[in-house]
Structure 1
């Protein structure tokens, strides 16, 4: 195809998307406005009741109102759909928009509740957004490739089947970067993150999720715990919930596990939701936990707001009666190199093939202009057999497990450190094209640690002054250091991650609730 051919396909697809939006939901988009968070409240599209609905961030509260009929699924879905469309006009966060289909589903659920007096399932009537890669029957799954335009799914993926069984209302799908690999402003689940940050969805599903840029609560479960039914098998991709409340993380995870996903996904682990693990039976009942703070992973040092967030969390946990120790990083750079070598094992062949099918160029940089800096350790990876890399990965996992277990000598609880608190990313949300740090999250992907992300604070230019220069680990560490300017990041959300062990989803959720509660109590005591 010529350049004009693939560009014409893109333009036609964008027009189809625009035509799927009810005309009365279009707004006057403000120009040259950096912060658009208040536009949904101020644009006039949402009624007071619709604002009440979409500003209700606690998923359990939403589900309670839906179950009692105080709010109908139709009005809740309509409210969030309108707000999602506002977010789309401001951030281009959506791919698939199917208003009539979603509202019809909501009407059917309302009718069932009216006739039977019973909810369909634990997610009855709740609109849920999905990252673009979760296929839905009759809809395109484009995944950022022009060549995939016009490819319609013949069936729902396993997760969507389960969501329907649970009574949910899938209502939009969200944007991803080409190849899913580029670290755009919000990572590969950036569309989902933007939508949720704008409160255009009460609960979303991303993959290999973080959420620290958007002030969200998320869960990165262990390999095969939740039904993905696809993705790489070398560094397995996982799906997880993204919400504005920790309650939403628990509700989603428990609902999906209670649906016995292993009966639909052949690689999903047969492990039911465990109340025993949620009650922290293997962590002293949660009475006196010991957390390790990873101030620095030995590859890149985090920006000042991340340090302040970790200090706030440390003080809050200690005030709540818990123990906080310094975490000693272990072979972090080796783990990163191994994972990245596995990621590029095919030399980018799959990306090139998909782009060549349509003629679109493979995006080589997300930078809009000058200012690029080399990503870490730019020397080319030496080609190695994949089985060798997998053996190395297994050895690294064993080594890291032994390192973690050895912390029992320092905790005083008779247990190793219960969980690690660390940045999810070394910085708050960066200008487009400058998101290069994946060192902190790659640890969790490679070691297969169940991990949550939780919001802590916001960048404050009056508090978060630039640190003095340090002895840089590498040129990426230096570039990230030089990137920091308190004025540039002022007001951005700052989140951290809580890292637990493999297959410890319930415990990670419970410990995140404890951390979140401690943070709220600590901030309340200072007020």
Structure 2
């Protein structure tokens, strides 16, 4: 297929999307010089006072309560979020699928069910839920950033979509992703680039960047993304929201579209994204109570555990916790705003009576190299195969010039971590595929590293003073706040936990403040070329208004405890901010 053919397919699909936006829901484009568009939904005049009240309600459980009591109808809540989602899309280009009539018909059935039966259909009754453009829905396309998947209509619902229907939720939009999904950025040649609502010159992250931008603008009360190397945590950290990365096999992935299918050593997990911490528990508990192992054979038969949420293995509710702080992973140093966020969190937890110790890095370079080799074992053949169906270019960069792709661009080998230039490039996709034996050896190495890391965690028992090993690790989401487009080059602060399969959350802490986050003097030496490039990138004016998020990391399969400890950390941080006016 010629370049004209694939470009026409992409252009026509984008036009089709734009035609789905009702004329009366359109708003003027913001001026190019307006970077922060977070106040436009309230100020544009499109939303009524009632719709603003609904969509500005941060706590998902308040929304559910009013839906369940009939104070708000499912139709009016769905319509309010549809309008706000479409506003968010016009500001950041965050959506792919828009299905207004289908969502409103679903909402009407829920209102009729409540009126007829005097009860809700399920624990998520009437709640609009947005979905990353991976989750198949019967009768809708699942394009996932590939031109060759335009027109690929699903004949089934993904397991999580089936469960959402059973729980009473209203799927209402799907959100943008990068081509191949394997980017911490969100751009593809079909739907284009998603921008950060706090500063449109910055990225909202990826690959669940559409969800991040949408939720940050209150265009969705609850979004569902996926995470193989940070893809719900990076967007959460970059857009000032919350997310949960559960462990493999805890929540259902069955029936969703994906890349790297068959690669089972470091697999993707679905996770919720929301503006309030309470939504993480509400979603996880509702889905686990629905027994997802009956729909997905890879889901563990592990129901929601209230005892684990009560931190029975962490001293019990109200007990002193001990957190380990990993400020610097030994590969790339965090920039000043990220260090300040970590300092704020440590002070807040200490003031709340918890203990904080330093995390001692172990095997990080070996872990990084092993994870890179596993996830590039096919040498990029999967990506090339899909792109070859239409001749669309396989994107080699997320820099702004990628928006005018050259289909004849040569295939460049991806350099090693220590030598790569400071622009994110497709993970090792230019290297040759490795043999089955070589892959097995990598799996063996991975198992060895996981065991050594587990033993390392256990040995912290001698330093905590609680009689337990550290309860959780605190660390950055990335070495920087949301960076300029194309410059999110480092995902190791997140991918390390995918490799080890540790449950973790991301949560907002602060935003860049030019009066507080002054550039550092150069260090005596840098760890490597990327460490130096990250240092040189920092300018508080470039990172204007960028959110800064952090991670809380627990152990394998302890999602309940991780959510509970994140609630404790967030509460301590809010109290600390109340005492210290300058945050």
Same fold, TM-score > 0.5, yes or no? yes
Q: CA deviation at 1:16?
A: 1.1
CA distance in 2, matches of 1:83, 1:29: 15
Q: CA deviation at 1:21?
A: 1.6
Q: How does 1:309-388 map to 2 (within 5 A)?
A: 309-369=341-401, 376-378=417-419, 383=434, 385-388=438-441
| Residue 504 (structure 2) aligns with | 451
**Quick check: 1:501 aligned with 2:555?**
yes
Q: CA deviation at 1:115?
A: 1.4
CA distance in 2, matches of 1:58, 1:419: 25
| Residue 465 (structure 1) aligns with | 518
| Residue 514 (structure 1) aligns with | 568
CA distance in 2, matches of 1:362, 1:473: 31
CA distance in 1, matches of 2:364, 2:23: 51
State the secondary structure of the residue aligned to 1:103.
helix
Out of 277, 290, 309, the residue aligned to residue 278 of structure 1 is 309
Tell me, yes or no, if the aligned pair for 1:375 and 1:476 is still in contact at 8 Å: no
Tell me, yes or no, if the aligned pair for 1:375 and 1:436 is still in contact at 8 Å: no
Could you tell me the TM-score, scaled by structure 1's length?
0.98
Q: CA deviation at 1:31?
A: 2.4
Question: What's the Cα RMSD here?
Answer: 1.4
| Residue 45 (structure 1) aligns with | 46
CA distance in 2, matches of 1:126, 1:375: 45
Could you tell me the TM-score, scaled by structure 2's length?
0.88
CA distance in 2, matches of 1:35, 1:459: 13
State the secondary structure of the residue aligned to 2:160.
helix
State the secondary structure of the residue aligned to 1:194.
helix
CA distance in 2, matches of 1:458, 1:18: 33
**Quick check: 1:415 aligned with 2:447?**
no
| Residue 106 (structure 1) aligns with | 107
| Residue 434 (structure 1) aligns with | 487
The runs of at least 4 aligned residues of structure 1 exceeding 6 Å deviation read 379-382
Q: How does 1:83-482 map to 2 (within 5 A)?
A: 83-184=84-185, 185=203, 186-208=205-227, 209-210=232-233, 211-229=236-254, 231=258, 232-286=263-317, 287-369=319-401, 376-378=417-419, 383=434, 385-470=438-523, 471-482=525-536
Q: CA deviation at 1:20?
A: 1.4
Q: 1:374 to 1:40 in 2, by over 3 A?
A: farther
Q: CA deviation at 1:525?
A: 2.1
State the secondary structure of the residue aligned to 1:333.
helix
Q: How does 1:54-65 map to 2 (within 5 A)?
A: 54-65=55-66
| Residue 3 (structure 1) aligns with | 3
Tell me, yes or no, if the aligned pair for 1:464 and 1:486 is still in contact at 8 Å: yes
State the secondary structure of the residue aligned to 1:488.
coil
| Residue 16 (structure 1) aligns with | 16
CA distance in 2, matches of 1:26, 1:224: 41
Q: 1:378 to 1:343 in 2, by over 3 A?
A: farther
Tell me, yes or no, if the aligned pair for 1:374 and 1:476 is still in contact at 8 Å: no
The gaps in structure 2 that reach 5 residues or longer are 186-202, 403-413, 421-427
CA distance in 2, matches of 1:240, 1:363: 26
CA distance in 1, matches of 2:212, 2:206: 9
CA distance in 2, matches of 1:106, 1:366: 38
State the secondary structure of the residue aligned to 1:388.
helix
